[in-house]
Chain A
């Protein structure tokens, strides 16, 4: 009489190309990390392209609680961190010099 098999839950992260980060796509049951990788490929890569898979035992993951939204609350408005707060003002000033504000793309592109 066989014992009931014991599986662990592995969370699966997929990387579509090396310029992208690994993204969580779901979880699989497996007995070993190697089998978790195989099962992850079966379950998540039937159509998606990937260059890498990570599997992590579910109990190795530390997470913030959904029940505590204050964990993510900002103490104050932080518009000073955003480009939108400068866009109108800078463009208005540059107009005097018959120029416009440079965006990130303007500087990066060749």
Chain B
């Protein structure tokens, strides 16, 4: 006796609420599949776009050791994109979407990429702050997904997070060296923190829980809200920034004992909206590079395909 869609959905929700894990080959409601494809596709493509601000610094890193470390990080990010795209592909296939479709949606603007990778990295200190605080924010966000109801994603995140662990230490190393350096180096680090502050707040998304976030929370794909993650980031990192004698560009930033929350000045949310329209400072330039690379490498993908039987 076969079940109706509604009955299958009810059974699926019961599995979720019992803490069961979902695999690629499981039946799943369209709502779950579509929400997951969007989230995981954006994660995969953001990993790839994340290589762009950092690769700009590979030829300009101040020492060979830093260059090697930075190249490793860039290689990791591209690799993460590959690993996570694989997960998105399996979910998207029943929707009739191919790997190429998922990648090309970046160029049409249908798929967005994380705000932080739309921002410029004008100094070496920016490179350090990316590794320390931007990757730190990413680990807060991704670490909270390690118990996701969607098991293939949770499994790949274990590997991804382990490698991000290296990135945050690479970033800390650069920032500690600058913090302990000349007055100019310390100032460049403070300037970079001031420049990146808004992007870090934006990274976790708006305080209001969106429809898509609600779906992901309902199905336990994710369990923490944007605001909970942003608060966790503050808890992990602000005291460390202050410990180095550095500040965040929010004079009223403080811990409120009564509400047990960090109080911060709202960023300009309209600037995040502009970024979601690919109108950030570096959006068009980096997308253009990505699209150029994709088009120029088409012959490589063609050469790598299985030969067609004659």
**Which A positions have Cβ atoms within 8 angstroms of B?**
2-9, 25-32, 35, 39, 42-44, 46-47, 66-67
Contacts and interface: CB of A to CB of B under 8 A. Distances in A.
Given A26-B156, A66-B23, A67-B26, A35 B86 contact: no
B98 A42 contact: no
Contact of A7 (B75, B99, B159, B299): B99
Contacts of A29: 86, 89, 99
Given A2-B299, A47-B163, A67-B26, A26 B83 contact: yes
Contacts of B99: 7, 29
Contacts of B75: 46
B79 A42 contact: yes
Contacts, number: 58
B76 interface: yes
B305 interface: yes
B306 A31 contact: yes
B235 interface: no
Nearest to A6: B305
Given A2-B302, A4-B100, A46 B156 contact: no
Given A26-B155, A28-B86, A46-B75, A35 B304 contact: yes
A43 B305 contact: no
A32 B306 contact: yes
Interface string B226-253: 0000000000000000000000000000
Nearest to B155: A26
Interface residues of B, number: 27
Interface of B: 23, 25-26, 72, 75-76, 79, 82-83, 86, 89-90, 98-100, 155-156, 159, 163, 298-299, 301-302, 304-307
Contacts of A44: 159
Contacts of B306: 6-8, 31-32
A31 B163 contact: no
A35 B301 CA distance: 12
B305 to A, nearest CB: 4
Nearest to B300: A5
Contacts of A39: 82
Nearest to A69: B20
Contacts of B298: 2
A3 to B, nearest CB: 8
A2 B305 CA distance: 12
Nearest to B299: A2
Contacts of A43: 79, 82-83
Nearest to A4: B100
Nearest to A58: B90
A26 B86 contact: yes
B252 to A, nearest CB: 43
Contacts of B100: 4-5
B301 A5 contact: yes
22 contacts: A5-B100, A5-B304, A5-B305, A6-B306, A9-B86, A26-B83, A26-B86, A26-B155, A26-B156, A27-B86, A28-B82, A31-B304, A31-B306, A31-B307, A32-B306, A35-B304, A42-B82, A43-B79, A46-B76, A46-B163, A66-B26, A67-B26
Contacts of B86: 9, 26-29
A28 B298 CA distance: 18
A67 to B, nearest CB: 7
